[in-house]
Structure 1
Amino acid sequence: MATGGLKDSNRDNAGDFIGECSVTQACEPCMKGNISKPATVFCDDCDEYLCDSCTNPHKVYNTAKKHNIVGYVEIVEMKGMDRCVEHNKKIKFYCQDHAKLCCTSCLTVHVKCGQLEEIDSVPEIELPDICDLKHSLIKLDSDADFIIAESKRQDSDLNKSVSKVNAELDAIQIRILKLFKEAQNNVQSEATAFKSEDINRSQTVCTKVKEDLHTILTICSAIAERGTPQQKYIILKRMEENNNMIQAEQVTLDLSLSYPRELTSLLEMGKDFIKLQIQKVKTSHISLSSQPRPLILKLLVSVDLPQTGDDKEKPLLSGLDFLTDGRLVAVDSWNMKCIILNERLQRLGTPYKFKNHPYSVVCVSHDTLCVTIAGQLVYLLSVSTDNTITLTRKITTSSEFDSICCMSPSNMVVSTFDDPRPVRMISVDGVETDFDHILTFPKKTYKADESACTYVQSKNTLVLTDRFAHTVYMHDTLKGTSRAVTNENIQEPRGACVGPGDTVLVCSENKNSIVHLTIDGKILGTYPVDMEFPHSICVSKDDTRLAVSNNVKGIKKLHLYKISPVMS
């Protein structure tokens, strides 16, 4: 398989399923003659898209290259990750001496290096499984978040250290008031300059790393399935580069003053008689396998959900999910609506009206929603940038589906009711499959609102809540093992979603709280919410916000929280 290198704006029609990238591309030789014809193959050596008619002449009239022709469907879009940052050329080498991916232009600097490796010659057997690296990438993204937050905390600590330094200077201020004031200003200036340069640089580096990681994550699945050894090698080295950059920023600051013991000579030394000492101390290592951290939830917005003029009932937001651009989607089961909300939880556009009661919703791409509907139905809806919601497909299912979540870009996991199979799978094309061959579920048939599911993709873990058993089940879909999690804080668990760092967040209805768990069943924290009977929950795609709604006969609410990790 080959890398489809995009060189111009004609190669920008990328598909939008999370983790995948499909490209619609015209034949480039035909385009030069003002002819629009779809490409069917790609020449990896010439980096050119071709139709069937142009393929043979391309090889015949250009004999200087080998012409590695591959089928167009085999191309994996690397989104620029296979191009040299400095020269914007295809990456062909890896310099072991400098731990750097190189193009042909880089050879002028690296040609004399002792360990220059040609990527085309790397055996695929030496490469790790890209799927195994996906979890490490997500962890690395979490580590970048940690360092950004830690650098902001250090800014506050640095101010405290400067105050301590000033207190030391105050102790000798009576004897050398004039020189002391000059020294104090000098120290303050050095500290301020350091804060501005070093801490801001650390935040900038980590932010850039996060951008690269998000790019890698969007193509990770495609690389694992169809990527060439060269692409897998490049992705591995890109991750190592980002990891090295993250590790380099993991330092803490220690400020102290140095001054001479013989204070009688101070008047002869001038304003530099005291200097600021800055020492960088390596912090504890944050590796790719760092453990999930507890969270801090800060309430951003809280709204009551009254019955509006066009509502027949008081709203029940039975399903929530975030679009990739941060808009919140909610389905109102009792009033049979799909609603789009902004960051202030204000309604955008006109709600979509269903003919039956919706149960749950999941965002499967930047503009596509899947909604489970009463009467054994699943709707695929399209959401435009101007908040127009359109029905694109209606799927009739063989079971009653309740909650729904993403398992892969084209497959969802659904919980059922009135069916002996409590959890099933359905594709965006409507193909239903079961877990029965790999998993053993509780031998019971749930009624409506008695269970819900979510799926931790990078851990291959299916989560199922059992409301009246006060239990959360963790099922490893690869190993076929299951774990039942019970705890005094888990009372009538309802909705569940994937949290930061491959964790799970569950609504504990009878405790009016949210429980934070690892996939191994460890309780990381319990967070009370100012609402009765929390019911539905979701986390934004960037793991920075959490939305939760309730199901109660009284006042119904919708809360939006900011998520941040607890600093060690």
Structure 2
Amino acid sequence: MKGFDKCQEHAREIVFFCQDHSKLCCLSCVLIHRKCDQLDEIAKVSTQTRPDLQGIKQSLIKLQSEADAIIADCEQSETGLNESIAKISSEVETMKDRIIQQFEGAKQKLISEAKQFKTAEVKRIGNKRDASLKVKEVLNNVLSMCCVVLDRGTPSQQYIYSEQMKEKQKTIESTIDDQRKIKCSSTMTVSFSKQVTSLLEMGSNSIKLNYDDNKTVNTSLLSLSPQPRPVTLELLVSVDLTNTGDDEKEPLLTGLDFLPDGRLVAVDNFNMKCIILNEQLQRLGTPYKFKGYPYSVVCVSHDTLCVTFNDAVCLLSVSTDNTITLTREIKTSSEFGSICCMSPSHMVVSTYDDPRPARMISVDGVESDFDHSLTFPTKTYKAGDSKCTYVQSKNTLVLTDRFAHTVYMHDTLNGTSTAVTNENIQKPRGACVGPGDTVLVCSGNKHSIVHLTIDGKILGTYPVDMKYPYSICVSKDGTRLAVSNSAEGTAKLQLYKISPAMN
């Protein structure tokens, strides 16, 4: 029996089980545990209570099967990553035939990014596989011993082995569960910018790297960008925000974003909640309760959210049944306010109490700064005084300045900046990317939304039926706009339909 029925400390035969301390004891151990309330003699108790070794065996077999599945998934993911490199190269070559000089530089950058991503993913896959292989090795040994004890062990030995396996089984289950939660990318694709006719101006950023469900832009070979056009907004739903359930205060929705499937996500700063809503702006599921006050939220994949706090960002997963789960909390060195996506792996954040009004952070929590050639306003904002958005296809960072009544457009590729002022832009608050890579800004004191191009041209101004619009977002398909306000006592959340304006 490989000595498992011997005391590891004294190498003597195990004859007792201390219920008080859940410890298997030999005659030497008994000297310590003799005053315990319940010290069972194994020879007697094993005849009275039959351990469920058969159940343990089945559980171990199931865990073994799950370990095999994870290992197979790792192999498939690595194969998919290798195949994706060749596929990306082929797709780029097709485009390169049409615009050879411009696309050569873009291709080299793309392949480099893909290989870097593959290297990082293969390392993660390897770690996941190694951990699962170790679990499987343990399972093989444990399962083999379990079969021996089940077939030939005495009742006492079976009882002892059963008790020994309880904690080990929990450890194995925990390891398997941890590995199952680790998401590894198995494929990568390439997407081509809509501004094909502007490739010479776009430089090496003309092609974006995608992996898994993180798509960026249209992949059509002839995807041409239309000129930005004005739009019309049609109010679909309007709800008054009042205290409900365990809310201590009237809600203040400081962050909004749409999931790819159309569900709306909101963070309520005053009540420290994350809420999911449907197209009628009705709550879905149970709101997630934070320990601190959330500022902003962005959807970084089909089921992952990133929420900012004053000194941290939290990653949350959202299931199809509207269950919100905290997956990771990342401490930050700066005070973050609003947040938006810059790429599948990086986000842009506005800051406060920091001389750098905007910074970047990766989904892994690595913070970085924009190039020094980018000229930001020489001021340090207070909380809520500046918000950001990012137009990915234009490499343009947008910052609002509440008290300067200004919207700044920063070209992060060329290092140029434009300050946009207009009589309709008064105390600008939240901003988001609109249809055709335009920008929509909440004009707080005008109780309206201003629509403008990244060059600063005003396309339109749309009054909204609320005071002091504060947070804004547009659905992934560009057909819906959600906006909330910061007016105490008259808090609202509204949903609009976006349509092209008639000529």
Q: Which amino acid aligns with 1:329?
A: V
Task: Give the C-alpha shift of residue 124 in structure 1.
Answer: 8.4
The 3-state SS of whatever aligns with 2:207 is helix
CA distance in 1, matches of 2:264, 2:460: 25
Quote the residue 1:535 is aligned against.
470
Question: C-alpha displacement at 1:393, in angstroms?
Answer: 0.6
Distance in structure 1 (CA, Å) of the matches to 2:106 and 2:457: 25
State the distance in 2 between where 1:293 and 1:217 align: 30
Q: Which residue of 1 aligns with 2:236?
A: 300
Structure 1 unpaired stretches of 5+: 1-29, 43-48, 50-69, 83-117, 133-215, 228-234, 244-287
1:447-477 Cα deviation digits (max 9, x unpaired): 0110000000000000000000000000000
Match for residue 304 of structure 2? Answer: 368
Question: Deviations along 1:44-100, whole A, 9 cap, x unmatched?
Answer: xxxxx7xxxxxxxxxxxxxxxxxxxx935635579xx98xxxxxxxxxxxxxxxxxx
What residue in structure 1 maps to residue 461 of structure 2? 526
Q: Deviations over 1:235-277 (max 9, x none)?
A: 98x533xx6xxxxxxxxxxxxxxxxxxxxxxxxxxxxxxxxxx
1:41 Cα deviation after fit:
6.8
Instruction: After TM superposition, list the pairs within 5 Å mapping 1:371-382 onto structure 2.
Output: 371-374=307-310, 376-382=311-317
Task: Say whether 1:476 aligns with 2:438.
Answer: no
Aligned partner letter, 1:38: E
Structure 1's 217 and 491: CA in aligned 2 closer, same or farther, altered over 3 A? farther
Q: Do structure 1's residue 224 and structure 2's residue 207 form an aligned pair?
A: yes
1:204-353 aligned within 5 A: 219-220=191-192, 224=207, 238-240=220-222, 288-353=224-289
User: C-alpha separation between the residues in 2 aligned to 1:478 and 1:448?
Assistant: 28
Partner of 2:141: none
Show structure 1 runs of 4+ deviating over 2 A.
Answer: 39-42, 70-78, 118-132, 216-227
Structure 2 unaligned residues grouped into runs of 5+: 1-67, 108-187, 194-204, 211-217
Whole-angstrom CA distance in 2 between matches of 1:310 and 1:469: 38
Partners in 2 of 1:37 and 1:406 — Cα distance? 28
Aligned to 1:142: none
**CA deviation string 1:289-326 (max 9, x = no partner):** 53100010000000000111300110000000000000
CA–CA distance in 2 between the matches of 1:359 and 1:485?
25
What is the aligned partner in structure 2 of residue 203 from structure 1? none
- Given candidates 63, 69, 75, the residue that maps to 1:38 is 75
Would you say 1:492 and 2:427 are equivalent positions? yes
Could you tell me whether the CA contact under 8 Å between 2:317 and 2:324 is conserved in 1?
yes
For the residues of structure 2 that align with 1:74 and 1:558, how far apart are their CA atoms? 45
> Quick one: which amino acid aligns to residue 309 of structure 1?
G
Matched with 1:467 is 402
Please report how far the alpha carbon of residue 553 of structure 1 lies from its aligned counterpart in structure 2 after TM superposition: 1.4
Instruction: Provide the C-alpha distance between the structure 2 equivalents of 1:544 and 1:354, rounded to a whole number of angstroms.
Output: 31
Letter in 1 for 2:75: P
Matched residue, 1:514: 449
Measure the CA separation in 1 of the matches of 2:206 and 2:396.
21
Is the Cα contact below 8 Å between 2:225 and 2:436 reproduced in 1?
A: no
Find 2:355's aligned residue among 417, 420, 445.
Answer: 420
Per-residue deviation, 1:39: 4.4
Deviation of 1:402 (Å): 0.3
Q: 1:303 to 1:76 in 2, by over 3 A?
A: farther
Q: Determine helix, strand or coil for the equivalent of 1:71.
A: helix
Hey, what does 1:504 align to over in structure 2?
439
1:452: which partner in 2? Answer: 387
Alignment of 1:3-402 (within 5 A): 38-39=75-76, 71-72=82-83, 74-76=85-87, 125=100, 128=103, 219-220=191-192, 224=207, 238-240=220-222, 288-374=224-310, 376-402=311-337
- C-alpha separation in 2, matches of 1:223 and 1:516: 25
TM-score by length of 2: 0.62
Deviation at 1:512, TM superposition (A): 0.2
Inter-partner Cα distance in structure 1 for 2:74 and 2:455:
53
- Which residue identity is paired with 1:356? G
The answer to whether the 8 A contact 2:192-2:221 is kept is no
Q: Which residue of 2 aligns with 1:431?
A: 366
CA distance in structure 2 between the aligned counterparts of 1:422 and 1:543, rounded to whole angstroms: 28
Superposition CA RMSD, Å = 3.3
Q: Residues 40 and 72 of structure 1 are in contact (CA less than 8 Å); yes or no, is this contact kept in structure 2?
A: no
User: What is the alpha-carbon distance in structure 2 between the residues aligned to residue 342 and residue 130 of structure 1?
Assistant: 44
CA apart distance, 1:36 = 7.6
**Which amino acid is the alignment partner of residue 455 of structure 1?**
Y
Check whether the contact 2:373–2:415 (CA below 8 A) recurs between aligned residues: yes
Q: What SS class does the counterpart of residue 342 from structure 2 fall into? A: strand
The amino acid across from 1:516 in the alignment is H
**How far did 1:406 drift?**
0.3
Distance 1:120 1:387, change over 3 A: closer
Given the alignment of the two structures, is residue 559 of structure 1 paired with residue 499 of structure 2, yes or no? Answer: no
For residue 373 of structure 1, report the CA deviation from its aligned partner. 1.3
Distance of 1:430 and 1:225 partners within structure 2: 21
- What is residue 257 of structure 1 aligned with on the other side? none
The answer to whether the 8 A contact 2:260-2:302 is kept is yes
Structure 2 letter corresponding to 1:529: V
Q: Counterpart of 2:274 in 1: which secondary structure?
A: strand
| 1:38 shift after superposition | 1.0
Instruction: Describe the SS at the equivalent of 2:245.
Output: coil
Q: Distance in 2 between matches of 1:77 and 1:542?
A: 25
Q: In structure 2, what is the Cα distance between the partners aligned to 1:340 and 1:431?
A: 28
| Aligned with 1:441 (options 376, 394, 398) | 376
Q: Compute the displacement of 1:437 (Å).
A: 1.8
- C-alpha change, 1:123 and 1:382, in structure 2 (3 Å) is same
Amino acid at match of 2:442: C
The one-letter code matched in structure 1 to 2:493 is: L
Q: Could you tell me how far 1:328 is from its partner in structure 2?
A: 0.1
Q: Is the 8 A contact 1:513 1:529 kept in 2?
A: yes
CA displacement 1:409-432 (0-9 Å, x = unmatched):
010000000111110000000000
Cα deviation, residue 392, structure 1: 0.6
Residues 226 and 436, structure 2, Cα contact 8 Å, conserved in 1? no
Paired residue total: 337
Distance 1:41 1:369, change over 3 A: closer
CA distance in 2, matches of 1:544, 1:123: 33
Go from structure 1 to structure 2 and tell me whether the alpha carbon gap of 1:544 and 1:123 turns closer, same or farther (over 3 Å shift): closer
- Partners of 2:232 and 2:207 in 1: CA distance: 34
Identity of aligned residues (%): 70
Distance in 2 of aligned mates of 1:485 and 1:386: 43
